[in-house]
Amino acid sequence: MSILNRGWLYDSITRNQDSGSVSYRWTHGANDDYLGAGIFYYSIPYFLKARVCVCLGSGGGYVPRLMVDCIYELNETQMYGEGKTGEVYVVDATNSVNGEVDWSDDDSFLREKFNPKFLNTTTEDAFYNFFVKRDIKIDYLHIDADHTYEGCKLDFDLYSTIMNENAIISIHDTDRRYWDTFETYDGEPHDTCYGPSDFVRELPIEWQTFDLFDYKDKSTKLSSTGLTIVRKVT
């Protein structure tokens, strides 16, 4: 089902059908009828014809459902070639370090409706004991797990070594201006997250970065907490 279908968008992307809105969607600048940064979580893997998408951390499952929706479309149109399919992996230790996870149960809306491959462990353990052991290369990686500087750097340093050529990495929560004036939405708690913004400012020159910041006064308009697109210069 296309993300441009308003019924599908309202029922299954920005909301969990009748059970309410997707947790933490506001950090992506999304509401019931607007995807915000979510359009990139669909369009980036679509443009890349990504066979392997990996999401590190996802409190409400917003990013994985857009990845899955994209991969479903690519599978249906046989963009990988006959008999080949794409996969979406979500790595989350569900330890509530940077927000509560509401989709880890098998009968959750995300698991039943979209069913990404779920690795319930730390990003470091998944790297060594799943991706490296299976020699899995990644086309699109989204980093949104441990929001400390050290945690973000570790995830990037590890997973950037198993990316395919021309792969893209997106890092969430990188707009420092947002956290300087932080206010929550919908009563959902969220720690201030300076780690990702500090980390991306220090990336070496061989990594090309593009900031997608739409910071606005939150009393007048919803805005995301910042997204930085990263790609290695070749």
3-state per-residue secondary structure call for 60-115: CCHHHHHHHHHHHHHHHCCCCCCCCCCEEEEECCCCCCCCCCCCCCCCCHHHHHCC
Q: How many CA atoms lie within 13 A of 197 on its CB side?
A: 15
Which of 37-46, 50-59, 148-157, 214-223 has the lowest average pLDDT?
214-223
Q: Check whether 48 has a pLDDT greater than 80.
A: yes
**Mean pLDDT score of the chain:** 86
Domain ranges of the chain: 6-232
How do residues 121-138 score in pLDDT, each as one tens digit? 999 999 999 999 999 999
pLDDT of residue 221: 55
* 3-state secondary structure (DSSP) of residue 13: helix
Q: Check whether 78 has a pLDDT greater than 60.
A: yes
pLDDT of residue 207: 96
Decide which of 204 and 223 is more confident: 204
Q: Check whether 165 has a pLDDT greater than 90.
A: yes
pLDDT of residue 186: 55
Tell me the two tokens of residue 93.
């230790």
The separation between the first and the last C-alpha atoms of the chain, rounded to the nearest angstrom, is: 35
Which of 16-30, 47-61, 128-142, 200-214 has the lowest average pLDDT?
16-30
How do residues 1-47 score in pLDDT, each as one tens digit? 556 676 766 677 788 876 678 888 888 988 888 889 999 999 999 99
Tell me the two tokens of residue 84.
């080949």
pLDDT of residue 160: 98
Q: Check whether 91 has a pLDDT greater than 60.
A: yes
* 3-state secondary structure (DSSP) of residue 153: helix
pLDDT of residue 104: 63
pTM here is: 0.90
% of the chain surpassing 90 pLDDT: 55
State the architecture of 6-232 in CATH terms. Answer: 3-Layer(aba) Sandwich (3.40)
